[in-house]
A and B are shown apart, each in its own frame.
Chain A
Amino acid sequence: MDPTQLEGFEQTFLPYMSAAYNLARWLTGSDQDAQDVVQESYLRALRFFGGFRGANSKAWFLTIVRNTGYSWLQRSQGQELTTPFDEQVHDIEDQSQGPEMELLQSATRQDLMAALEKLPVDFRETLVLRELEGLSYKEIADVIGLPIGTVMSRLARARQRLRQALSDRSPKEA
């Protein structure tokens, strides 16, 4: 690769290192693994750079990070990566608002970290891409390779689950 091309690559993608690391960290759950995933993602991106047409570089790169993270999960843990559709969670009606809101308000950083970590990976990644990276529904759909409709329902269920996990904390923890 000639130096000008490399410079273009670095200028385009190095600014996404934090985003890549954050996503990889939430996917793999470990600092060392996240670093490895980020490095592997950059090398993959370099290999595929020729096919990159300058559309949405952040979504393009995060797609690589996400897929690299998933292969890593599958290899290292043989983890079951799909979540069966959960009728019960989906169908929960809004009951008593008051206590849930209070518990939600009083959640600490630790509570949130724990609750997000415990979510199935496909819910977790959707929330991370939306709430932490601020990606649009369209960008999330591109990154995870699913239709926007699926992104929306997954996001809704992920939030529902997260709220539920935070509300289920015993009052002592709060």
Chain B
Amino acid sequence: MACREMDRIEAYADGQLDLGSSLNIEQHLIGCETCAAALEKQQTLRSVMGRASLYYDAPPQLSARIRSAVRRQAKVPAVSRPAAPAAWRWFAVAAPAASIAILVWALVAVSRTPSKGDLLDREIASAHARSLMGDHLMDFPSSNQHTVKPSLSGRLDFSPEVKDLSSAGFDLLGGRLDYLDSRPAAAIVYERRKHLINLFVWPLEAGAVEGPVETSLRGYNMIHWAQSGMNYVAVSDLNPAELQSFRRALQD
């Protein structure tokens, strides 16, 4: 039969009762077979679960991935340049406040040596290349603009426009979340004659290009422009002329 102390048996076995209640339960257990059986059941289950090692250990590469993502978002130089933070720390101990300020300014200046535009191009080329590897291309595969748009908006703090460009010869394949210029970006994927185009969209900040500006890096062509409060970058191995027609179709 059920016993009204049953509810407390689990808490007792979980070590969640205070001392007084625990002692009461122990007293009660001597005389109540139902509760004693319930306790035994729970202890058995626990030992079986413990024996089975149900814990999933994190894969070894996850740590590096998390660190670099965190540093990207925090806008602190990535671990791939270990010299800078180490030196910074050494000086921070030795130098008075004024020198630190100068040093930090110098470090920021040095880390900017490749222009912001160059760095962004590199990021975009890498993001594009990465998207072509394995199955990183799409989080939300769909040729329907009305499916892709809400999927992206739901995970971002802005709502990118998703256009159907099939009439211009660019087929919508889907959308993906990406990370560019230290913030989340939408990646909308199109295809033309087996050439993939990643269209990156993220909110405009002051000082962004009005465009369109053409660049190229590592065999990828890119066009940057700004439109309705958003940065747009189209990147592909398509030739620049066709990429321009893609941009025009989007801006129409």
**Residue ranges of A at the interface with B (Cβ–Cβ < 8 Å):** 1, 3, 5-6, 9-10, 14, 17-18, 20-22, 25-26, 31, 34-35, 38-39, 42-43, 46-47, 75, 93-94, 97, 100-101, 104-105, 107-109, 112-113, 116, 130-132, 136-137, 152-153, 155-156, 159, 162-163, 166
Contacts and interface: CB of A to CB of B under 8 A. Distances in A.
Contacts of A31: 59
Contacts of A105: 44, 48
Contacts, number: 119
13 contacts: A3-B85, A6-B74, A25-B56, A42-B69, A46-B70, A94-B37, A107-B52, A109-B54, A112-B54, A131-B50, A132-B55, A153-B7, A159-B42
A109 B49 CA distance: 8
Interface string B27-63: 0000000100110111011101111111111110011
B41 A163 contact: yes
B16 interface: yes
B154 interface: yes
B65 interface: yes
Interface residues of B, number: 45
A26 B10 contact: no
Given A3-B88, A38-B58, A113-B52, 4 more contacts: A1-B76, A35-B59, A104-B44, A137-B16
A152 B155 contact: no
Q: Interface centre among B56, B63, B154, by most A CB within 10 Å?
A: B56
B155 A108 contact: no
A108 B52 contact: yes
Q: Interface centre among B2, B38, B41, B46, by most A CB within 10 Å?
A: B41
Those 8 A-B pairs whose CB atoms lie nearest each other, nearest first: A21-B58, A25-B56, A109-B52, A1-B74, A112-B52, A6-B74, A22-B56, A137-B16
Contacts of B71: 6
A43 to B, nearest CB: 5
Nearest to A117: B54
B63 A14 contact: yes
B10 A156 contact: yes
A86 to B, nearest CB: 17
Interface of B: 1-2, 7, 10-11, 14, 16, 34, 37-38, 40-42, 44-46, 48-59, 62-63, 65-67, 69-71, 73-76, 85, 88, 151, 154-155
A131 B37 contact: no
Contact of A21 (B34, B44, B62): B62
A18 B58 contact: yes
A22 B55 contact: yes
Contacts of A6: 70-71, 74, 76
B48 A107 contact: yes
Contacts of B85: 3
A104 B45 contact: yes
A112 B46 CA distance: 11
A42 B65 CA distance: 11
